[in-house]
């Protein structure tokens, strides 16, 4: 089972070594490690090429994390793809345990794990809404992202079937991909924490983009319009989209953004009608 690890990075020379070292310290080594530099202007290139020559270093102009991940996936050779954000880290047995699970349960093509959260240097407990699960979890994926990219091990065939990360989404690109996969795929989940997620720093996407739910609304529109959902999943997706659109419209109205508010009210009305007609 050949595993390619994809680490996208942008101006994270301070945290990138921790991420790379966590891959190099795996009890089951990866077959290749690809560092995809998304237009960094710090010393990331020198750091990787000088300190980590065993990694493949790819560079592109700054086009966002989706583009960087897609470049890495396209350039990789492994049957299995493991993602790792450059500000996170793996625990030493992550790959070994995930590969054992997917080998034991043939046919499963996505495996994710529990995680440890560190925010501003302090360990914090995840809220109930972030609870991870396995099986058919499409409904759980609708309110927010419930699979951390850094914990995901995916079979390459999934990307052939559902496509790569959506490069038009500046954020919530992982939410969009999990919707497309989980609409027809049961997933494996390891309850043992096997990754460490570090939060609180200023360059997190959730801090750089206002109104993250607007990207989730966009992703929900895509999956609803895809024609791939069962009747039950379709109704659930429409309900969440309408809820999110109305909340977003209310917030925009309060801030005096009347055109934006009306835009999201129209989205809500349109999908409310679609939901009724599909019953």
pLDDT for position 266: 94
pLDDT for position 195: 98
Lowest mean pLDDT among 121-130, 141-150, 154-163, 191-200: 121-130
**Domain count along the chain:** 2
Domain that holds residue 85: 3-208
Residue in this structure with the two tokens 């009890």, named with its chain if needed: 27
Q: Give mean pLDDT, residues 178-197.
A: 97
Query: For the whole model, what pTM was predicted?
Result: 0.92
Of 208, 225, 241, the domain-final residue: 208
76 and 158, same domain (yes or no): yes
| Each residue's pLDDT tens digit, 126-144 | 767 778 899 999 999 999 9
pLDDT bracket for residue 200 (50, 70, 90):
low
**Which CATH number is 163's domain given?**
3.90.550.10
Of 180, 208, 236, the domain-final residue: 208
232 and 152, same domain (yes or no): no
Does 250 have pLDDT greater than 60? yes
Q: Is the dihedral of CA 39, 40, 43, 45 positive or negative?
A: negative
Q: How large a percentage of the chain has pLDDT more than 90?
A: 84
Does 206 have pLDDT greater than 60? no
Does 95 have pLDDT greater than 60? yes
120 and 242, same domain (yes or no): no
| Number of C-beta neighbours around residue 239 at 10 A | 14
pLDDT for position 205: 55
pLDDT for position 160: 95
Q: Give mean pLDDT, residues 91-100.
A: 98
Structure token digits, residue 214: 């607007």
Q: How far apart are CA 265 and CA 242, in angstroms?
A: 9
pLDDT for position 120: 83
Q: How far apart are CA 153 and CA 226, in angstroms?
A: 25
Q: How far apart are CA 59 and CA 71, in angstroms?
A: 9
Helix intervals (H) in the chain: 16-24, 44-51, 65-75, 94-104, 138-141, 156-162, 173-182, 205-208, 213-225, 231-254, 258-277
107 and 219, same domain (yes or no): no
Q: How far apart are CA 121 and CA 260, in angstroms?
A: 38
Structure token digits, residue 68: 């960087």
pLDDT for position 278: 54
């Amino acid at each position: 089972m050949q595993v390619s690890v994809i680490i996208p990075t942008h101006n994270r020379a301070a945290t990138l070594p921790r991420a790379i070292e966590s891959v190099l310290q795996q009890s089951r080594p990866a077959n290749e490690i690809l560092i995809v530099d998304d237009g960094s202007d710090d010393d990331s290139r020198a750091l990787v090429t000088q300190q980590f020559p065993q990694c493949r270093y790819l560079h592109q102009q700054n086009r966002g994390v989706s583009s960087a991940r897609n470049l890495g996936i396209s350039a990789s050779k492994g049957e299995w793809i493991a993602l790792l954000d450059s500000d996170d880290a793996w625990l030493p047995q992550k790959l070994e345990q995930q590969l054992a699970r997917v080998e034991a349960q043939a046919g499963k093509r996505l495996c994710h794990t529990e995680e440890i959260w560190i925010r501003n240097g302090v360990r914090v407990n995840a809220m109930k809404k972030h609870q991870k699960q396995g099986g058919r979890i499409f409904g759980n994926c609708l309110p927010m992202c419930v699979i951390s990219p850094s914990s995901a091990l995916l079979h390459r065939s999934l990307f052939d079937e559902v496509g790569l990360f959506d490069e038009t989404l500046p954020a919530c690109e992982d939410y969009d991909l999990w919707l497309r996969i989980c609409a027809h795929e049961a997933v494996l989940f390891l309850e043992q924490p096997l990754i460490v997620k570090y939060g609180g720093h200023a360059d997190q996407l959730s801090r750089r983009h206002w109104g993250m739910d607007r990207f989730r609304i966009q992703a929900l529109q895509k999956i609803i319009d895809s024609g791939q959902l069962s009747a039950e999943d379709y109704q659930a997706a429409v309900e969440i989209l309408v809820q999110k659109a109305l909340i977003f419209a209310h917030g925009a109205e309060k801030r005096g953004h009347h055109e934006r508010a009306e835009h999201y009210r129209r989205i809500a009305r349109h999908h409310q009608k679609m939901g009724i007609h599909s019953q």
